[in-house]
Structure 1
Amino acid sequence: MRFNFSFRKNKPTTVVNHEGAAAFTLTPQLELYAAVATAALSDQFYEKADTRLVRLRELVAQNEPLFVAQLAVYAREKMYLRTVPLVLCVELARLHRGDNLVSRLVARVVQRADEITELLAFYALANQRQGQKTLNRLSKQLQKGLALAFNRFDGYQLAKYDRAGQVRLRDALFLVHPQAKSPEQQQLFDQLVRGELPTPYTWETELSALGQQTFTTDAERQTAFRQKWEELIGSGKLGYMALLRNLRNILEAEVSAAAMERVVAALTDERAVQRSKQLPFRFLAAYRELLTVRSGHVARLLTALETAIGHSTQNLRGFGADTRVVVACDVSGSMQQPVSARSKVQYFDIGLVLGMLLQTRCAHVVTGMFGDTWKRVPLPQNQVLRNVQELYRREGEVGYSTNGYLVVRDLRLRNEAVDKVMIFTDGQLWNSTGDGGTLAQEWAAYRRTVAPQARLYLFDLAGHGATPVQVHEQDGVALIAGWSDKVFDVLQALENGGSALTEIERIDF
């Protein structure tokens, strides 16, 4: 991403949410965790991107450096986030001195060559430097960490990510001065400086070159692209994300049955899914794209995507036949906001996907959605993406307010005891009915009169910094934040008596 935000002091002092409803503050650790785990660093419904960056900066200063470093690694390696861990590196470098914590963090977090230039771009912004000033007075620990990162990349990776931008890889090389590990690597560095790195073999470069050719007929063009896609599929160099993003193009190229067999096999390979570190909603984006394509292979690919996303929760435990669970998804107006400027996926899509992933692992589950009202919607298991589409089709049936308290009130009025209530939301709940009911009040009443051992899990998908219920173990309330399937690891920590922070503090650093 390109950073173009400014920093300013802007921290509210009143304990109300963005809708003006009563809310509860979080500890600095929990607030930083929630803000990081949900950071798209683009404008949200309630919070501008520069406001989020200001809040991240303030929260980093309020937390211990080791925890900030562990959180950055957790966000990069477990939650599959790229940009916000770099922000944490730069902010920590501004505040922390005296040891090699920052250099070790940078070397671990920077896992793609373009993250070197992205980190430097944010460093320039955070230190209010432009142009050549970007290359002046770089933190020594950042410099050491980036030098270590440079040593990990081969010629293919350097060439693939040597792109135009505020900072080029060539500029970064001059600034960081990495010590080449071998004469061969020094040759690569020299080629990078001269702009002579060989063009990498990637699906982008191959299709770009083909697109520049002239064809005499449409049939000739169709044949050329079909053959190219079959070549890419068979090459083993079409990554998992590239495959997800290009399913429509592959179908429209009318590749052979044998090539389609390889596509299906690649999509459903459990180890490939795990290695790809895809956020679950990426599967939903691919699924929806396929629904617009006319091809006899669509049904098979839809099934393959269901299988692929199902691999995400195979290890989730603790939800057997005797565990009574409610999965409630917020479909209010504020949730119907794209996660980034270029994305078609909305926050409420993320909630639906995570909710339906959880639903597949529960033997005794009530699912539903809330807005003006709360509605139970029985859905079959083992159909995550199809269930999401069903809820998406029906979301208008409950309206667009944020009356999440109705989920628990319904349980209380039915005198229905459950073990766990899972609410997927942006946390900006308020009562549009005027009857004064709140989630905090209803939860206290439900635990007091119906289910004293029940637990409430708030899955925070936006990280705005306050919650509708106080997060406290003695009240049976826990906070879980993020968009990846790794949020379910936090559930496991909670089952074992830990907290949302337990998984972060386990990071060996």
Structure 2
Amino acid sequence: MANKGLFASAIARLMPVADTVNREGAPAYAYGPEHKLAQLAATGTLADTFYGGAEAQLADVLAAAQACDPAFVAQAAVYARRSGAMKDMPALLAAYLTVAEPDLAIPVFDRVIDNGRMLRNFVQILRSGQVGRTSLGSRPKRLVQHWLERASMPQLMAAATGKDPSLADVVRMVHPKPADAGRRAFYGWLIGRPYDVAALPAEVAAFEAWKADRSLPLPPVPFEWLTAFSLTAEDWAVLATRIGWQALRMNLNTLARNGTFDVKGVTEAVAARLSDAEAIAKVRPMPYQLMVALDQARASVPLKVQAALEDALEQSLVRVPKVPGHVVVCPDVSGSMSSPVTGYRKGASSAVRCIDVAALVAAAMLRTNRDTQVVPFENHVVGVRLDPRARLAVNAAKLAAIGGGGTNVSAPLATLNAMRAAVDLVVIVSDNQSWVDSTKGGATATLREWNEIKRRNPAAKLVCIDIQPYGTGQAPQGRADILNVGGFSDAVFDTIARFVSGDTRDWVGIVKQVEI
């Protein structure tokens, strides 16, 4: 018989050679500028990560943007905001375009700067000097002015929460022209200048009256304006029916702590709001946000409300594709996956870890595809028993509780090869900084194991989901059977569904379909 090792080596030489090293110094494949920008836009939060600082991430995204056509930068910005629900990166790319391609900045601003927080992000980034200017400049100033002029009074009031810069700071910078006496009075009230009390918008006038006489009904203003004051359980009950869906999801423990659920009818009203399908479809909460809200809900939050949260979680995952055949999902449970998915920020780090997102993707795929095989890995494959009939949150929590060890992305593929498993789709969810399986040359261990799977399963497809923005992967781009995609919103499931159904575009191609 011919020497297997010799001929295996010959075959390996035909595979694409790893052309860079990852953050662990192990062989990897570098993403091209467009893919790298798309990955940064969909997963970058301009915060410290396990393998790098915020400054390095900022430098990476600006370098990637400069290496791309401005039209693609515009598409990446809109994709990140509209599909990925990102905040800082879309604002950064919109600000970058005001220097790199001012004409493109106009439509991108309109698509990306869609609320007061995004407006303040945009202004903060421009004034920082990081994109090449330290002031707004005439065109960006007009864009901000137009946003203020078009915004409704509720939008302006919502924008007036937050600082650095505050909405008052923004108004002082751009000097918007008030269209009527009411808006003129609002701007005067906002920045502390004389104003016509009689012309003050009704909501703000009601707020000022309520501050003077707390026996009056709660005014219809952002709840953050009210929580600086002492509120009764009945006051909180009113707010529970009035605040936005996301604010409700985030403040369940606050409502419980203030006795809100003891007020008759509040529990039922809150549960109905949280599980309302129309509201969920409109807000499109991140699935992991709901999983964390469930995990953090204290015992004082009624079970009916917790059940509504779980229902909302199930509804948020309607985009998880149902895939025919043998599906294998491989969540990375190594030590680096314990870092916050949105990075470290002093006093503001997310409680959601990368491993939580990976576990949720695996549990969601299992829920939709009951025969899915879940193969967690770190240094090696980790055995865990999951019940496909169990609640999604239960399986996700079981996976997220593993944790620890080094990163070996090829381990689950090697296990499938050892089992000679039949495979149609493999989904790997990782930061892709594999090093335990480091090779001395040639292709990565992940690609070698995948090619062996393909030899037995010619129609099989591999999806590698990046949830951290490091610019490299363990499988190369440019193959019809491999998809590298970044992000942790439900847009990832859309992309997987397209790929499985035969869409031949890579992720960059999907981003390029975005209309500006």
Contact kept in structure 1, 2:21 and 2:28, CA below 8 Å: yes
Q: Which amino acid aligns with 1:281?
A: Y
2:26 aligns with: 21
* Equivalent-residue separation in structure 1 for 2:506 and 2:439 (angstroms): 34
**TM-score between the two structures when normalised by the length of structure 2:** 0.83
Distance in 2 separating the partners of 1:256 and 1:174: 43
1:162 and 1:168 in contact (8 A); partners too? yes
Partner of 1:80: 85
Amino acid at match of 2:313: I
Partner of 2:338: 336
Secondary structure of the corresponding residue to residue 210 of structure 1: coil
Specify the alignment match of 1:383 in structure 2.
391
1:114 match: secondary structure: helix
Give me the whole-angstrom Cα distance separating, in 2, the residues matched to 1:128 and 1:70.
18
Displacement of 1:435 in angstroms is 11
Task: Please say if residues 424 and 461 of structure 1, whose CA atoms lie closer than 8 Å, have aligned partners that are also in contact.
Answer: yes
**1:453 aligned residue (449, 459, 463):** 459
Conserved? CA contact 1:113–1:153, under 8 Å:
no
RMSD across aligned positions (CA): 2.6
Pairs within 5 Å for 1:179-258: 179-182=177-180, 184-194=182-192, 198=204, 199=207, 201-210=221-230, 224=232, 226-234=233-241, 237-252=242-257, 253=259, 254-256=261-263, 258=265
Matched position secondary structure for 1:473: coil
Quick check: 1:140 aligned with 2:138?
A: yes
| Offset at residue 360 of structure 1 (A) | 1.8
- The whole-number CA distance in structure 2 between the counterparts of 1:480 and 1:17 is 17
Which one of the candidate residues 430, 434, 440 is aligned to 2:435?
Answer: 430
Alignment of 1:109-508 (within 5 A): 109-127=112-130, 134=134, 136=135, 138-162=136-160, 165-182=163-180, 184-194=182-192, 198=204, 199=207, 201-210=221-230, 224=232, 226-234=233-241, 237-252=242-257, 253=259, 254-256=261-263, 258-290=265-297, 292-294=298-300, 297-298=302-303, 300-319=304-323, 322-338=324-340, 339-340=342-343, 341=345, 342=348, 343-377=350-384, 378-381=386-389, 383-393=391-401, 395-396=402-403, 399-431=404-436, 438-448=445-455, 450-474=456-480, 476-494=481-499, 495=501, 496-508=503-515
Counterpart CA distance in 2 for 1:139 and 1:444 is: 53
Q: Number of residues paired by the alignment?
A: 465
- State the TM-score, normalizing by the size of structure 1: 0.84
Paired with 1:257 and 1:410, the residues of 2 have a C-alpha distance of: 56
Match of 1:6 in 2: none
1:41-60 CA distance string (max 9 Å, x none): 11000011110000100111
Amino acid corresponding to residue 327 of structure 1 in structure 2: V
How far is 1:366 from its partner? 0.5
After TM superposition, give the deviation of residue 385 of structure 1 in Å.
Answer: 1.4
Does structure 2 retain, via aligned residues, the 8 Å contact 1:493–1:502? Answer: no
CA distance in 2, matches of 1:104, 1:185: 26
The alpha-carbon deviation at position 127 of structure 1 amounts to 4.6
Runs of 5+ consecutive residues of structure 2 not aligned to the other structure: 1-17, 208-219
CA 1:62–1:409: 2 relative to 1, 3 Å: same
Deviations 1:151-187 (A, max 9, x none): 2323333233335744343342344344545554444
**Is 2:113 the counterpart of 1:105?**
no
Pair 389,316 (structure 1): closer, same or farther in 2 beyond 3 Å: closer
TM alignment of 1:6-85, pairs within 5 A: 15-85=20-90
CA distance in 2, matches of 1:179, 1:382: 57
* CA positional deviation for 1:483: 1.1
Residue pair 2:366, 2:388 contacting (<8 A) in 1 also:
no
Residues 312 and 294 (structure 1 numbering): CA distance in 2 closer, same or farther, change over 3 Å? closer
1:37 Cα offset (Å): 0.6
Given that 2:376 and 2:382 are in contact with CA atoms closer than 8 Å, whether structure 1 keeps it comes out as: yes
- Please give the secondary structure, in 2, of the residue aligned with 1:375: coil
Query: 1:214 corresponds to which residue?
Result: none
- What is the deviation of 1:356? 1.8
In the TM superposition, what is the alpha-carbon distance from 1:201 to its structure 2 partner? 2.1
| SS of corresponding position for 1:23 | strand
Once the two structures are overlaid, the 10-residue window that deviates more, 370-379 or 258-267, is 370-379
In structure 2, relative to structure 1, the CA distance for the partners of 1:181 and 1:356 (3 Å cut) is farther
1:413 maps to amino acid: A
1:307: Cα distance to partner? 1.3
1:195-235 deviation per Cα after TM superposition (whole angstroms, max 9, x unaligned): 56724623333332125xxxxxxxxxxxx3x222222223x
Offset of residue 478 of structure 1: 0.5
Helix, strand or coil at the partner of 1:443? helix
Aligned mates of 2:506, 2:179 — CA distance in 1 = 42
Per-residue CA distance 1:117-158 (angstroms, 9 max, x = gap):
3212111223599xxx95x4x333322322222123233332
One-letter amino acid matched to 2:223: W
Q: 2: distance between equivalents of 1:418 and 1:38?
A: 28
Q: Residue 28 of structure 2 contacts residue 474 of structure 2 at CA under 8 Å; is this kept in 1?
A: yes
Residue 386 of structure 1 aligns to a residue whose secondary structure is: helix
- The 1:128–1:454 alpha-carbon spacing in structure 2 relative to 1, beyond 3 Å, is closer
Cα gap change, 1:363/1:127 in structure 2, threshold over 3 Å: closer, same or farther?
A: closer
Contact 2:486–2:492, Cα closer than 8 Å, also in 1? yes
Distance in 1 (CA, whole Å) between partners of 2:454 and 2:382 is 21
Q: Which amino acid aligns with 1:384?
A: L
Whole-angstrom distance in 2 between the partners of 1:46 and 1:324: 34
8 Å CA contact 1:403–1:432 kept in 2: the answer is: yes
Deviations 1:380-413 (A, max 9, x none): 24622121111223x15xx411122111111111
Per-residue CA deviations over 1:435-475 (Å, capped at 9, x if unaligned) read 99821211112212x2121111001000200101112324x
Residue matched to 2:4 = none
CA 95–411 in structure 1, closer or farther in 2 if over 3 Å, else same: same
SS in 2 for 1:126: coil
Cα distance in 2 for partners of 1:422, 1:381 equals 21
Deviation at 1:434, TM superposition (A): 8.9
Deviations 1:330-381 (A, max 9, x none): 0111111123432211111111122222222214311131112213533324
CA contact (8 A) 1:367 1:379 kept: no
Instruction: Give the SS at the match of 2:489.
Output: coil
Counterpart-to-counterpart distance in 2, 1:508 and 1:493: 18
Distance 1:112 1:438, change over 3 A: same
User: Please, which runs of 5 or more residues in structure 1 have no aligned partner?
Assistant: 1-12, 212-223
Please tell me whether the aligned partners of residues 107 and 148 of structure 1 are also in contact (alpha carbons under 8 angstroms): no
Alignment partners' CA distance in 1, 2:351 and 2:437: 28
Question: In structure 2, what residue type is equivalent to 1:242?
Answer: A
Question: Compared with structure 1, are the counterparts of its residues 317 and 163 closer, same or farther at alpha carbon in structure 2 (3 Å cutoff)?
Answer: closer
Contact 1:325 1:419 in 2 (8 A): yes
